[in-house]
Structure 1
């Protein structure tokens, strides 16, 4: 099967007065505020489609625009692009969410899916009234996914009495178009793997070194096999592209410096409330450091995992992911100029050409020193 290429659709442009500033700030923690810009959503969705991408993700956070509505706007502006809507358990009833997905899928001609998440930050989910600790959110997610999937598939009313949800004669009159993939799920914890294996068609493997990626893919597929199921694998890849590898490395260094400068400048204090920083603190990656130090560390981590190079070099690295078992690659790249689009198109064309990655070529990483 051909590699599935995924992009992304945001509700509004990244903050910044110039293309260079917006490119840099994609690597900085996101502020809690995000506008809903209908023209931008439609244009970026069409560009994803025109540049040869198969699908796009609409992300979610407690203070950002509703991802179902953003996804619907993107689908209405396109004819082929599939949209995966990030959907967090615990915010709405699973039967209601199933009707939302089924409706969106029908209205779009079978182009909608849900990327189900439990929420990576306790602070962020609490803003929507979800006060369960993460271990309990995972336990609830199992019950949620059972009801969510039943709401998408069952034609007769059903009852359920569980720890977190109770329904009586739950039924729907609208179902998604029959096809292979409606639900994706991520999470590198054993609980996340088990839930994906039982309920999802797609498992989002966390970024990491290639040997780790191979091991996690093997674990997820083995877990799915225990249920007589198969999983497709999705991997997110952040990119910094340029015409040559040296130019890309220079660009990554400049992006890093600008991202730190812009996100720690006077007036940028709202970035200290970013969900990424809450998550870093909760995971013990940061402590009581000043805001500018926490933001700088977040920018460095964001760039450290990026694939940096020419379209040819980056395609080689993505080809190794494909060889490791990845079926869907999300190309997370700043597209602010015509040249950015040309680089993305060149990468897509290279990935579509059916090339075989060469094991002799090394990885490209951003130069240190920014």
Structure 2
């Protein structure tokens, strides 16, 4: 199985444990962060979406201009643009980046954040809209003749765009969501189904559930799986856990301040993925030896918030266990963003690649 590593590029330096610094759109930081991940061997970087942050598509266009080969995984929320228009945007980005564009479809997420942009549909209605949205996306990207569409949420007449993606048959679709409604849309449309970091047993169960749903569309062998984690590395295991404890203490102070400053109607509890992380964190602080959940507990499961803690070799071994469970894409981001991206590129990614290669070579010898 092929192996892929995704990083993350935000518009400003900062995390749960580090107060933001620099301008809210820090051009020099974005450039340095993107180039560090490209140099470190990341295949792609996620440009996330949030109502309080800079626009992900415009950030991706800038990152494309300051990098040569780093893939651009652009988070996108269906419902705020016409699907025909958004599909042209992604096709155009794919041309300008010479075939480096991908889309991360975000449907569920924080209901409060969606409502800040005027989207008040309930979760099931949002997923129904997303399914129709992606049906239209595929037609825009692949149709060679004008097409019409009449659905519950969209009506299109006589659409034909000359701007087709460089990548064939279309821009890769990464899909997130932990609800049953999400599984159904992912089964039909996702090239890669993305999960937050959970214990091995739960990851295996989710992979099996999504594959079963994908089988109804003949896609069970097509869909791949991604896991998002926050590795915390140390020269020794004790050093790594001490660093995790410092991160937790810093995060306690910052998260308390942020929650007091803003009214968050659905903070960390408005989607299935967050609820799953909170439940896991309530069971124990550490799962599977080194899957650390205390930041997830502190933040209410807000986003990618679980960590693998240990030496580079220990974390690489844990990643190999996930690989053997069916994960072929890893999204890694740190708490000290730029420093951690460099460290991952130097110490972690090469180790995981080497372990996967060694395992593959051993299997070839056994089967010879």
Change (3 A) 1:262 1:186: closer
Residue 285 of structure 2 corresponds to which residue in structure 1? none
Shift of 1:149: 1.5
Alignment partners' CA distance in 2, 1:135 and 1:234 = 23
Is 1:212 aligned to residue 202 of structure 2?
Answer: yes
Residue 363 of structure 1 corresponds to which residue in structure 2? none
Shift of 1:269: 5.5
Q: Give 2:224's match in structure 1, choosing from 206, 225, 232.
A: 232
Residue 362 of structure 2 corresponds to which residue in structure 1? none
Alignment partners' CA distance in 2, 1:340 and 1:142 = 34
Greater CA drift, 97-106 or 112-121: 112-121
Is 1:35 aligned to residue 17 of structure 2?
Answer: no
Report if the CA contact (8 A) 2:31-2:66 is conserved. yes
Aligned-CA RMSD value? 2.9
Q: Give 2:17's match in structure 1, choosing from 10, 19, 24.
A: 24
Q: What are the within-5 Å matches in structure 2 for residues 21-170 of structure 1?
A: 24-25=17-18, 35-170=24-159
Any stretches of 5+ residues in structure 1 without a counterpart? Answer: 15-21, 287-294, 358-370
Alignment partners' CA distance in 2, 1:131 and 1:23 = 28
Shift of 1:161: 1.1
Structure 2 length as normaliser, TM-score?
Answer: 0.83
Shift of 1:271: 5.3
Q: What are the Cα deviations for residues 133-164 of structure 1, in whole angstroms up to 9, with x where unaligned?
A: 11111111111111112111112211111111
Alignment partners' CA distance in 1, 2:189 and 2:338 = 40
Alignment partners' CA distance in 1, 2:2 and 2:65 = 26
Classify the secondary structure of the residue corresponding to 1:250. helix
Alignment partners' CA distance in 2, 1:341 and 1:150 = 40
Change (3 A) 1:274 1:327: farther
Report if the CA contact (8 A) 1:121-1:282 is conserved. yes
Classify the secondary structure of the residue corresponding to 1:7. strand
Greater CA drift, 35-44 or 301-310: 301-310
Change (3 A) 1:147 1:319: same
Q: Give 1:200's match in structure 2, choosing from 166, 190, 196.
A: 190
Report if the CA contact (8 A) 1:138-1:191 is conserved. yes
Report if the CA contact (8 A) 1:25-1:263 is conserved. no
Alignment partners' CA distance in 2, 1:279 and 1:342 = 29
Alignment partners' CA distance in 1, 2:92 and 2:131 = 23
Report if the CA contact (8 A) 2:5-2:44 is conserved. yes
Is 1:223 aligned to residue 223 of structure 2?
Answer: no
Change (3 A) 1:344 1:271: farther
Report if the CA contact (8 A) 1:6-1:55 is conserved. yes
Structure 1 length as normaliser, TM-score?
Answer: 0.82
Shift of 1:338: 5.4
Change (3 A) 1:299 1:250: farther
Shift of 1:317: 0.6
Any stretches of 5+ residues in structure 2 without a counterpart? Answer: 279-294, 360-368
Report if the CA contact (8 A) 1:256-1:299 is conserved. no
Classify the secondary structure of the residue corresponding to 1:132. coil
Alignment partners' CA distance in 2, 1:141 and 1:75 = 27
Report if the CA contact (8 A) 2:197-2:307 is conserved. no
Report if the CA contact (8 A) 1:260-1:296 is conserved. no
Q: What are the Cα deviations for residues 290-339 of structure 1, in whole angstroms up to 9, with x where unaligned?
A: xxxxx995348579831111111110111111000111001122345658
Alignment partners' CA distance in 2, 1:124 and 1:40 = 25
**Equivalent residues, number:** 335
Residue 278 of structure 1 corresponds to which residue in structure 2? 267
